[in-house]
Amino acid sequence: MPFGLCIAVPAFERSMETVLIDFKWRICLVYLDDCVIFSKDFPTHPVRVRQVLSRFRDAGFKLKMMKCHWRRSQVAFLGHIVTPAGILPNPEKVKAVMNVQQPRDLHEIRSFLGLISYFRRSIPGYASISAPLERLKMKGDCESAFQQLKRALMKPPILVYPDLNKRFSLYVDSSQYAVGACLHMLWQTVDRSSKNWINKEDGISEIECWGVVWSTRKFRCYLDKREFDLYIDHQALTWIFSPGNRTSNAKLARWAMEKSNLQFIVYHKPGTSMGHVDGLSRLPAERMASLTIQDLLNPDNEPSSENSPPKRGTLYTRQPKTPRQSWWMNP
């Protein structure tokens, strides 16, 4: 190697990618020396295992049997436990986070945030909880945020696997604190994310619209080229995303143009009926402690099932458009 061990890791990863280039994401996942072979049923699994092992043999790779695990219903991969029901953080990694001492300076705070943010999708309201640490505010708020982030990681919700043949629902809510978004499939959580809001000088409509733009960018791999439902609590956005929109706000028009290539139906729902995203965006860290995991997972804050969909509120539809059609300028 031209630079010795400095490029050993990327060179090894490049070799693994080359060997399994047509198998990755189809029958296996690979990262460095971790390779997971997956199948929907047992008869298919031995065939896929032989295919991957044949590639390793042809490439001259050798496997250590004591480090190989066969016929497992759940595996540990990249800090997570992959189960038939979904994905959750690895208890060993969670234990390491629990043992982290309280940060004493800026360097230790950055190290802790870098560690805990890897599991942010498993922590409801991560952006709101970590806001005091991000802003380095008063000592009491930072201590509360530090302890609450560790407590939230101890009981993470299970995120279900996405089925691209089913319809997705995206719930978005924005506030002066942060933006929260939850992606659901059949009323089960596929993914969630939140982001601190920096520019607080913008108006309410711009804040809410930016939340939709950011969340659709975040989950674009699930939403692109397929119809989905969008739930928002700001009724003005239903006009922004409607075919008859003639807004004079250049920023809103630009964001609306960006979303014109997505196929979605907009539903307006009050913020009180979207507690799972309202908690991700609106509540400060001290108020998040009063919410339970069940409150955040239930889109309507009331029992629901796959056969009894949540209340949809007001419906606003628009026809799917191609990126070149300027539907917001049409009469």
Predicted pLDDT at 18:
92
Average pLDDT, the chain: 77
pLDDT at 248 over 80: no
Predicted pLDDT at 286:
40
Predicted pLDDT at 44:
92
Instruction: Provide the whole-model pTM.
Output: 0.59
- Domain-by-domain residue ranges, the chain? 4-72, 87-154, 168-329
Report which of residues 282 and 70 the model is more confident about: 70
CB 232, CB 268: distance < 8 Å: yes
Give the phi and the psi of residue 40 in degrees, each rounded to 5.
-80, -30
Domain at 168-329, CATH homologous superfamily: Ribonuclease H-like superfamily/Ribonuclease H (3.30.420.10)
Predicted pLDDT at 130:
81
CB 241, CB 266: distance < 8 Å: yes
pLDDT digits (tens, 9 = 90+) for 111-148: 888 888 888 888 877 877 887 787 765 466 777 888 87
Task: Please name the residues in contact with 265: beta carbons below 8 A apart, sequence gap of 6 or more.
Answer: 227, 228, 229, 230, 315, 316, 317, 318
Predicted pLDDT at 46:
92
Predicted pLDDT at 216:
92
